[in-house]
Amino acid sequence: MDQNLNLEIVTPQRVLLETEADYVTIPGEIGELGILPGHIPLLTNLQSGVLSYKNGSEEKKIAVHYGYAEVCQDKITILAQTAETSDEINIEETKAAQKEAEDELAELMNQTDQLDRINELQREIAKSITRQNLAQ
């Protein structure tokens, strides 16, 4: 395959990555998406998950948390609420944040007037799990 994908990962705080890749996997809203050069254009929501990309024999992974992915010709743009490399993750802090969110969620589960907070906590737990998966 002579073509490469141009991959860009952007958050509100920074441009985390601009690189070329042979293929990219994205944590889409309805599951993991594999993107190769020449993929049809698409736009999808992102879940909290691990984005992986390969260039030659080197595979790298980055945690991305919510947002959007756009595939247009041979360019993938990830617009994530947050994104981080494994080096940026403190595993103990992440485990503590997950525990705190799970405890609060357990208290709120039967309170129907707290649905927004329940959804927010579920997203925080998913984010913590993604971070741990990447950092381990």
State the average pLDDT for the chain.
Answer: 91
pLDDT given for residue 122 in this prediction:
87
pLDDT given for residue 11 in this prediction:
96
Mean pLDDT of 88-95: 92
pLDDT-based confidence at 1, cuts 50/70/90? very low
What is the C-alpha R_g of the chain?
Answer: 16
Long-range (24+ apart) CB contacts under 8 A made by 82-87 are 82/11, 82/13, 82/127, 83/9, 83/11, 83/16, 83/17, 83/51, 84/16, 84/131, 84/134, 85/16, 85/134, 86/61, 86/134, 86/135
Cα 104 to chain centroid distance, Å, stands at 24
Least confident of 28-37, 87-96, 101-110: 101-110
Mean pLDDT of 47-56: 93
Mean pLDDT of 43-70: 94
pLDDT given for residue 19 in this prediction:
95
Q: Is the pLDDT of residue 135 over 90?
A: no
Q: Which residue has the higher pLDDT, 117 or 75?
A: 75
Q: Is the pLDDT of residue 83 over 90?
A: yes
Q: Is the pLDDT of residue 110 over 70?
A: yes
Strand ranges in 1-136 using DSSP code E only, listed in sequence order: 5-10, 15-21, 23-28, 31-35, 42-46, 49-55, 58-72, 75-84
